[in-house]
Structure 1
Amino acid sequence: MTQPPPPPPNQPPDPQGGFGAPTPPQQPPGYGYPQQPEPGYGYPQQPPAPQPEPGYGYPQQQQQPTAPQQSPYGYPTPPQQPGQQPVPPPYGYPAQPQQPYGGYPQTAPVPAVAPGGKKLSAQLQIVIAAAVAVVLIVGVGIWYANSGSGGDDKNPVSSAGTSQGTGGQTGGSGGSNGVGGDGKEKAPAVTQSKEVFRIGLPKVPDTTDVSGSWVTDKAFVKTGVNSVVGYDLDKGTVLWTLPLTGQVCGASRHTTADHKVAILFEATKRVAPRYYQPCTEVGMVDLGTGKLLWSSSVTGGSAGDAKARFSEVTLSGQTVAAGGTDGGAAFDAANGNPRWKPQANDQDCFDLGYGGGAGLVAVRKCGPFESQYVLIQNLNPTTGAPLSQYKMPTGVKYAAVVSTKPLVVAADVGDSAGDGSGISDFFSIDEKTGKLKAKITADADQYGARCRSTKVEACTQALVGNGRLYVPTEEHEGSTGEYGDETNEIIAFDLATGRTVPEKADAGDTYTLVPLRMDGGDLIAYKVPPYDKGGRVVSVNGGTMKETVLLENPSEKSTRETERSFGVTGSEYLYADGRFFVSKTYVSKTSDGGSSATGEYLAVSYGTKG
């Protein structure tokens, strides 16, 4: 299979900024832990050369074109819907009246002089001021009530709540009717956990990416140096070790139903002085047996006759898709046979990467170096044919896929976020038509979700479910106002309207909520603890936003210090069936003393069982 077709000709490029190597993002504000840098996969970023990339998605009610245009690759180019945007709705959509912090309307100044020239008495001024305040309050209340219904406004709503999650407008879904409460994770009889095992840090000669961890019914699986290792859930002993030709340099967050996962790894070992090898090999690992089922590589794109280099990999159905600045490729999950590979086209397009899971979505960059633009394409996972596409606004250099179905994308428009989060706005897109449903502005000073700027599927703390987008607020002062009393909330946006729903989840004083994953219609979240307590794992009802404690870690000093050594921005958190795993995403150069000298570990496990 060759590279998918270029974008439809009736969607002209939108001139944008250049595509040079990105400025390293600032570390986001921490949650009380020492912050750690977020390295790449072990090799330097290269200035992307425009190249071909496949469109890729999943076969969801493919739109039938009225007069299909034949692409040079043998399948029809997706039809342009009547009135479909070549350019997205303007960012100048009428905004809501801005109120001072706290939501109180300001009153108009009261004139001190009557129309006839006489100075008003102090008592009369007070009476007039009170009347004006009442009128304004009533007026603002009516405006908010009317705006909640959407009225005749046909444009998507841009909305952002306050840091307490009470601002913005009520979403179209209203309350929690029929939302949430169906999660599989239930509170055990005893929620107090104990530490089950610790895994020591591997010795590395340089900073090494070890992203990737999974849980099966028998094992906790973690990437290591030149290997993937499975550990017994109850003992932490090694069940199996899969040696590889080189370092793991990418791992899918999605797995198959029978516990198979896609990874990227290097063809040879890293050696001094550069400790760098290109990330070219794609493979499928059986997490039950520890076997490498197949491995493959492809040529093409800007790599020419050399092996294409990839920076991330994902899985959707029976397709493994890998992307990077050399372009994108896809493989049959059963045997590793290539479905398509990077290939040049006359639109200078290439796929940066893919979002997987329920669907397959490509983030494609097109156009000449000085005026590149970004397309979001929902793909047929078998052929790579675009089923629909949405053109991102001018000023978007990269985009990240938060969810493929429903389709939600995050981007930093015009580098306006300013906090290293990689997010200024979320885009709710109809994956069947490519039309924008809502643009949700996520003020960097208010919201805590994060995406790695040059990665397509590397967002954390943003969850999609129940027709809603769930994000945490940044930390703010708690109710006591004392030092160290920071807290936050998780709020939700309606994906159809972009408006906040009224319910929110409160972390409570001294705790901070970090959303981890959806559990049916509910959320699994980690509560980062204060200095003198252990962390908690809670289930949050996706409708009422009420929480249920599933696990609470010990408060003993030695245990809580180990838990606190894992910074939120540099760790992976997994919870399943009463077991909680925390692991690092990278390891720095270590001394001969290893973990006992540094007080840090590759992974730690907690459990409520036994």
Structure 2
Amino acid sequence: PQGGFGAPTPPQQQPEPGYGYPQQAPQPDPGYGYPPQAPDQGYGYPQGPGGPPPATPQQPYGYPAQPPTQPQQGGYGGYQQPAQPPYGYPPQPQQGYGGYQQPPTAPVPAAAPGGGRGKPSAQLQIIIAAVVAVVLIVGGGVWYANSGDGGKGDESKGTGGTTQGADGGAGGTGGGAGVGGDGKEKAGGNTSAKPAFQLEVPKVPDTTPVAGSWVTDKVYVKTGVNAVSGYDLDSGAVVWTLPLTGQICGASRHMTADHKVPILFEAAKRVAPRYYRDCTEVGVVDLNTGKLLWSTSVTGGAAGDSKVRFSEVTLSGKTVAAGGLDGGAAFDVANGNPRWKPQANAQGCYDLGYGGGEGLVAVRKCGTYDAPYVMIQNLDPVTGAPISQYKMASGVKYASVISTKPLVVAADVGDSAGDGSGISDFFSLDEKTGKLKAKITADADRYAARCRSTKVEACTQALVGNGRLYVPTEEHEGSSGEFGDETNEVIAFDLATGRTMPEKADAGDKYTLIPLRMDGGDLIAYKEPPYDKGGRIVSINGGTMKETLLLENPADKVNREKENSFSINGAEFLYQDGRLFISSVNVSKPRESTSAYDKRYLAVAFSTKG
């Protein structure tokens, strides 16, 4: 049945892999730095003079290269290969027919005998007239390309590879002066970490989700099997354990100021052979005491008289919001009283999920199976009434919320990312009006941020702060060219215009930067190490992009094996006050192996304390 907030029958899909499941690797390109094949400009495209380009000095990696003073000679017909931007920066726009190109220089008439200039021959006059005509045509093309509708075209189409803002802004807000530097995490006298504790993997008969971990000033909290437990920060001793009716199947990344967290869990324990239960129960846990303050479930929408099934939960202010294919519902964080629940509507709309934090944003799916569309709605967290909304472009099946204030969402438009990242573009929206400020194209071959396409608030490695979007580049060869010398950078985009900022953070040879969270105006990032080093936690100034070492893990073999037992895309990384916690998001049946390298953990902790 059609249900508003309650979905029409969703299209059949392949089973979704668990969070952290290895993504399909992209097909390798011809090689780092190899210029891609330029598109055919079409017959009649203005041609430039040929000739080999002069040598240009090598620019620092990640900065825009200077264009050659002479165009490069192309292939058939003299097609000019445009200069390629450096790795990690968006490509420059391709000019279509009529786009500006330097016209050929008009030939100078030969000097007449006697030192004066004679009248040009008839043939030469024809040549000059043709050149002038080309100049006028090209010049007219420039005017035409910048006139028309005044930039009021389809906002959903964005601004192309230059990531120019939809308002036609000419560039970013300038350098990083006065931005960042106010983070709470500071380097102490000791940055060398020691192992604090490890938590063994619980025995399970099949793959079991254990996503969800939090840190307070007193305990480290981690989900387990049919329970949540709090552990001493330094020793790992169990402080409290909260048994649940079934397995946790969703957890909020946000918590209240007094450490209360919403969770989802199943109404009964999993049993063979199916080893699965519907995710229907919503509750709030007090992380200080380990008490379940309340739990509830709702009916309605596509679920009818059955319990509504949820897939994720979040928190905004005093509101807990949960969404899924059956629709969305919200509750008072203090007592669980419902604020809204799925309702039938004529448009077949339902709230797939919500982004929380400073605001509450719904990703709402509407339409029929043949003509679906996605709406981004900024909501009043108490009433659920839309403050603003933005309709995503056709070809968007799902969208993920990176930040609610400022409002930034990610989507894979037309399934064009092709690498399993779930991101082809970022959309910077005005949360008050719903208008598009900038569309930032995220080339899947260049950028490493990831979203689970069917989840609204499950993106990693993309951070928003200081009016900027921070994303890491994919790994590439470092400066030494040695085996295993991969590295990357973190690039910033201006959310008002979509332009790249001039500053960037370099991981350094053999390290890879993984942004974790914002700390005021600064970034907290994990540096994935080479095989013979321990990982690092650094603070990156959000303006200058300069990094400060906060923690470095031990490099001995035993601790390296503990750290390397977690995959970057299949683990949760938490850092706070000199302590690093790494934990699994799924646990499986133990492997039949005696190798220490194959050993897995529920969580490991490293600390600079003591």
TM-score bracket for this pair, using the shorter chain length: 0.7 to 0.9
Q: Does 1:370 align with 2:336?
A: no
Cα distance, 1:237–1:508 mapped onto 2, change above 3 Å:
same
Post-superposition shift, 1:21?
Answer: 4.0
1:466 aligns with 466
Post-superposition shift, 1:596?
Answer: 6.9
- The 5 A counterparts of 1:353-392 are 353-392=353-392
Q: Does 1:20 align with 2:7?
A: no
Say if 1:422 and 1:453, in contact at 8 Å, map to a contact too. Answer: yes
**Secondary structure of the structure 2 residue equivalent to 1:314:** strand
Say if 1:170 and 1:501, in contact at 8 Å, map to a contact too. Answer: no
Of residues 71, 89, 97, the one that matches 1:107 is 71
Say if 1:5 and 1:385, in contact at 8 Å, map to a contact too. Answer: no
Post-superposition shift, 1:171?
Answer: 4.3
Say if 1:266 and 1:280, in contact at 8 Å, map to a contact too. Answer: yes
1:403 aligns with 403
Say if 2:5 and 2:328, in contact at 8 Å, map to a contact too. Answer: no
- The 5 A counterparts of 1:15-414 are 20-23=11-14, 36-37=21-22, 104-105=67-68, 107=71, 109=73, 158=159, 171-414=171-414
CA distance in 2: counterparts of 1:522 and 1:411, whole angstroms: 25
Cα distance, 1:544–1:178 mapped onto 2, change above 3 Å:
same
Per-residue CA deviations over 1:77-110 (Å, capped at 9, x if unaligned) read xxxxxxxxxxxxxxxxxxxxxx999664461549
**Secondary structure of the structure 1 residue equivalent to 2:388:** strand
Cα distance, 1:597–1:459 mapped onto 2, change above 3 Å:
closer
Per-residue CA deviations over 1:226-279 (Å, capped at 9, x if unaligned) read 000100001001000000000000000000000000000000000110001000
Post-superposition shift, 1:541?
Answer: 0.2
CA distance in 1: counterparts of 2:161 and 2:577, whole angstroms: 35
Amino acid aligned to 2:211: S
Cα distance, 1:588–1:26 mapped onto 2, change above 3 Å:
closer
Per-residue CA deviations over 1:436-478 (Å, capped at 9, x if unaligned) read 0000000000000000010000000000000000000000000
Say if 2:301 and 2:344, in contact at 8 Å, map to a contact too. Answer: yes
Post-superposition shift, 1:158?
Answer: 3.5
CA distance in 1: counterparts of 2:530 and 2:215, whole angstroms: 27
Cα distance, 1:207–1:26 mapped onto 2, change above 3 Å:
closer
Per-residue CA deviations over 1:180-225 (Å, capped at 9, x if unaligned) read 0000000011101001000000011111111000000010000001
Cα distance, 1:109–1:599 mapped onto 2, change above 3 Å:
closer
Amino acid aligned to 1:406: P
Say if 1:572 and 1:585, in contact at 8 Å, map to a contact too. Answer: yes
1:415 aligns with 415
Post-superposition shift, 1:580?
Answer: 0.5
Cα distance, 1:581–1:268 mapped onto 2, change above 3 Å:
same
Post-superposition shift, 1:600?
Answer: 1.3
CA distance in 2: counterparts of 1:171 and 1:595, whole angstroms: 54
Post-superposition shift, 1:314?
Answer: 0.2
Amino acid aligned to 2:204: V
1:53 aligns with none
Post-superposition shift, 1:298?
Answer: 0.1
Post-superposition shift, 1:5?
Answer: 9.3
Say if 1:264 and 1:281, in contact at 8 Å, map to a contact too. Answer: yes
1:64 aligns with none
Post-superposition shift, 1:597?
Answer: 9.0
1:485 aligns with 485
**Secondary structure of the structure 2 residue equivalent to 1:505:** strand
Say if 1:437 and 1:496, in contact at 8 Å, map to a contact too. Answer: yes
1:537 aligns with 537
1:519 aligns with 519
Say if 1:159 and 1:498, in contact at 8 Å, map to a contact too. Answer: no
CA distance in 2: counterparts of 1:436 and 1:170, whole angstroms: 16
CA distance in 1: counterparts of 2:208 and 2:18, whole angstroms: 18
Cα distance, 1:508–1:371 mapped onto 2, change above 3 Å:
same
Say if 1:351 and 1:363, in contact at 8 Å, map to a contact too. Answer: yes
**Secondary structure of the structure 2 residue equivalent to 1:609:** coil
2:579 aligns with 579
> Which structure ranks higher in relative contact order (CA pairs < 8 Å, sequence separation ≥ 6)?
1
Q: Does 1:609 align with 2:609?
A: yes
Cα distance, 1:288–1:451 mapped onto 2, change above 3 Å:
same
Say if 2:571 and 2:583, in contact at 8 Å, map to a contact too. Answer: yes
Amino acid aligned to 2:434: G
Say if 1:203 and 1:591, in contact at 8 Å, map to a contact too. Answer: no
Amino acid aligned to 2:444: A
**Secondary structure of the structure 2 residue equivalent to 1:174:** coil
CA distance in 1: counterparts of 2:17 and 2:107, whole angstroms: 57
Post-superposition shift, 1:347?
Answer: 0.9
Post-superposition shift, 1:378?
Answer: 0.3
Q: Structure 1: which 5+ runs fail to align?
A: 7-17, 29-34, 40-98, 119-142, 163-168
**Secondary structure of the structure 2 residue equivalent to 1:527:** strand
Amino acid aligned to 1:20: P
CA distance in 1: counterparts of 2:206 and 2:23, whole angstroms: 14
Per-residue CA deviations over 1:347-376 (Å, capped at 9, x if unaligned) read 110000000000000000011121110000
Post-superposition shift, 1:590?
Answer: 1.9
CA distance in 2: counterparts of 1:569 and 1:550, whole angstroms: 22
- Bigger shift: 305-314 or 584-593? 584-593
CA distance in 2: counterparts of 1:422 and 1:212, whole angstroms: 21
CA distance in 1: counterparts of 2:241 and 2:300, whole angstroms: 33
Amino acid aligned to 2:469: L
Cα distance, 1:379–1:294 mapped onto 2, change above 3 Å:
same
Post-superposition shift, 1:546?
Answer: 0.2
Amino acid aligned to 1:234: D
Per-residue CA deviations over 1:504-551 (Å, capped at 9, x if unaligned) read 000000000000000000000000000000000000000000000000
**Secondary structure of the structure 1 residue equivalent to 2:310:** coil
**Secondary structure of the structure 1 residue equivalent to 2:561:** helix
1:166 aligns with none
TM-score normalised over the length of structure 2: 0.76
1:70 aligns with none
Amino acid aligned to 2:296: S
CA distance in 2: counterparts of 1:36 and 1:306, whole angstroms: 31
Post-superposition shift, 1:172?
Answer: 2.3
CA distance in 2: counterparts of 1:533 and 1:548, whole angstroms: 18
CA distance in 1: counterparts of 2:606 and 2:162, whole angstroms: 35
**Secondary structure of the structure 2 residue equivalent to 1:450:** coil
CA distance in 2: counterparts of 1:336 and 1:260, whole angstroms: 13
Larger Rg belongs to = 2
**Secondary structure of the structure 2 residue equivalent to 1:602:** strand
Say if 1:200 and 1:595, in contact at 8 Å, map to a contact too. Answer: no
CA distance in 1: counterparts of 2:238 and 2:401, whole angstroms: 34
2:437 aligns with 437
Cα distance, 1:325–1:38 mapped onto 2, change above 3 Å:
farther
CA distance in 1: counterparts of 2:249 and 2:404, whole angstroms: 23
Cα distance, 1:24–1:413 mapped onto 2, change above 3 Å:
farther
Q: Structure 2: which 5+ runs fail to align?
A: 25-52, 57-63, 79-105, 111-141, 164-168
2:509 aligns with 509
Post-superposition shift, 1:483?
Answer: 1.1
1:452 aligns with 452
Say if 1:170 and 1:502, in contact at 8 Å, map to a contact too. Answer: no
CA distance in 1: counterparts of 2:291 and 2:422, whole angstroms: 36
Amino acid aligned to 1:333: V
CA distance in 1: counterparts of 2:308 and 2:247, whole angstroms: 17
2:588 aligns with 588
Per-residue CA deviations over 1:362-402 (Å, capped at 9, x if unaligned) read 00001112111000000011111001000000000000000
Identity of aligned residues (%): 71
